[in-house]
Amino acid sequence: VIEDELKRNIPIAGLAKDNKHRTSELLFGFPPKTIGMKQGSPLFRLMEEIQKEVHRFAITFHRDKRSKRQIASALDEIKGIGEKTKKILLRKFKSVKRIKEASVEELAAVVGEVKAKIVKENLHF
């Protein structure tokens, strides 16, 4: 795909897992060729750590995206709270959970007392 779409010949590598979902080998090039690595070798352990970090990053990224979508929908249900106020609240508190945990005073410092009370009275889950 990279070569076809971007007109670039970029080497590609990947790690394959066995039927027990354990990292078992390194694949390189297209078509992929297996490159032998001793399990437990420093290179193999490095590749496993890179694989774990990439997986952790991807999971965290997708959880954050999903969480922000759900957060926005919870705030969308509150009458009297517009898009601008929602953005201000999310920018300050980072999540609906934190908005819900905030006191009326903390909310009021960001969006004013009237809107703070509306949020506090209507944000339930």
- Give pLDDT tens digits for 71-81: 666 888 899 99
- 82 with 94, same domain: the answer is yes
Give the domain range for residue 52.
39-125
Query: Using an 8 Å Cβ cutoff, are 19 and 27 in contact?
Result: no
Range with lowest mean pLDDT among 65-69, 89-93, 106-110? 65-69
Q: CA-to-CA distance for 22 and 50, rounded, in angstroms?
A: 14
Q: Any alpha helices (H) in 26-93, and if so which ranges?
A: 42-76, 83-93
Clarify whether residues 23 and 48 are in a common domain.
no
**Residue corresponding to tokens 């394959």:** 16
Q: Within this chain, do residues 59 and 81 fall inside the same structural domain, yes or no?
A: yes
Q: 47 and 7: one domain?
A: no
Question: Do 60 and 30 fall into the same domain?
Answer: no
pLDDT at 1 over 70: no
- Does residue 49 sit in the same domain as residue 17? no
Among the ranges given (20-34, 60-74, 110-124), the one the predictor scored with the smallest mean pLDDT: 60-74
Q: Does residue 46 sit in the same domain as residue 95?
A: yes
Confirm whether pTM is higher than 0.75: no
* Per-residue CA distances from 23 to 12, 39, 41, 56 (Å): 17, 9, 13, 15
Same structural domain for residues 66 and 113?
Answer: yes
Domain count, the chain: 2
